[in-house]
Amino acid sequence: MFAPRSGGPLLVTAAALLLVGGLGAVAVLPFPLPVLVLWVALCAVWTFSAWFFRDPERSPGEGIVSAADGRVRAVEERGDELLISVFMNVTDVHVNRLPLTGTFERVGDAGAGHRAAYRPDADRNVARTYELSTALGPVRIVQITGVLARRLVSFVGPGTTRQKGERFGMIVLGSRVDVFLPRSRVVPTVRAGDRVLAGSTTIAREPR
């Protein structure tokens, strides 16, 4: 399955054109070597794009789940909030999923610049913040751009309610997703360096 609204229809169309082009080229053999090289190169580009925009089905994990695939870069207390930050490599699935059931109260863009997402000052990069009301209280999810990742994609808008594990957006070419949870209501279950999967890996739970 391909990521919704982010290349699926285009990839299907491109695959059909490449197939027709390849069959047409075979039908008129011999054909110039440059044409063959071009066709192979286009197939390689399509293969990378299909792999990049992959969107596997996931079963929601227990507790509060990760919003992104990748590696946990930070687990920090910031005032009344607990920050769990995940860095997405270019090899990770780029579709972001909801950590817990909630209603999107506000979606807004802010920031400037495109610093490397793993740097501390990347907090000031162009970013999109999702403010949610949940059973635990207010929760924020922040998609942060990076040096190459400059396209933020949203599948939701204010007033939308989604269940835990459902897709809400993606960042094209990687970067970082920060989740801010009410610190008094949760206990982290991951630490910096852990690998996580969006929608399925538990990153926090309510205290017992």
**Could you tell me if 23 and 113 lie in one domain?**
no
Which residue type, as a one-letter code, is found at position 65?
Answer: V
Any domain includes 57: no
What residues are labeled active site? 175
Domain that holds residue 39: 8-52
The total number of structural domains in the chain stands at 2
Q: What whole-number distance in Å separates Cα of residue 202 and Cα of residue 46?
A: 33
**Could you tell me if 198 and 95 lie in one domain?**
yes
Residue 174: which residues within 8 A CB-CB, separation 6 or more?
88, 89, 90, 92, 94, 117, 146, 148, 149
* Virtual torsion, Cα 164, 131, 176, 167, nearest 10 deg: 30
- pLDDT tens for 28-73 read 555 566 666 665 666 666 566 555 667 889 999 999 999 999 999 9
SS3 content of the chain, % helix, strand, coil (to 5): 25, 35, 40
Any domain includes 3: no
Q: Are 155 and 168 in contact (CB under 8 A)?
A: yes
Q: What whole-number distance in Å separates Cα of residue 156 and Cα of residue 154?
A: 6
- Comparison of pLDDT for 2 and 81, the residue scoring more: 81
Q: What's the pLDDT band for 17 if we cut at 50, 70, 90? A: very low
- Residue 57's Cβ-count burial label (10 Å; 0-12, 13-18, 19+) is exposed
**Could you tell me if 76 and 29 lie in one domain?**
no
**Could you tell me if 163 and 199 lie in one domain?**
yes
pLDDT for res 116: 72
Residue 87 has pLDDT above 80, yes or no: yes
pTM: 0.78
Q: Are 73 and 145 in contact (CB under 8 A)?
A: no
- pLDDT tens for 154-175 read 999 999 999 999 999 988 876 8
**Could you tell me if 71 and 36 lie in one domain?**
no
Angle between helices 33-52 and 8-27 (to 10 degrees): 160
Any domain includes 58: no
pLDDT for res 14: 47
* Bridge partners (DSSP) listed for residue 131: 106, 140
**Could you tell me if 149 and 174 lie in one domain?**
yes
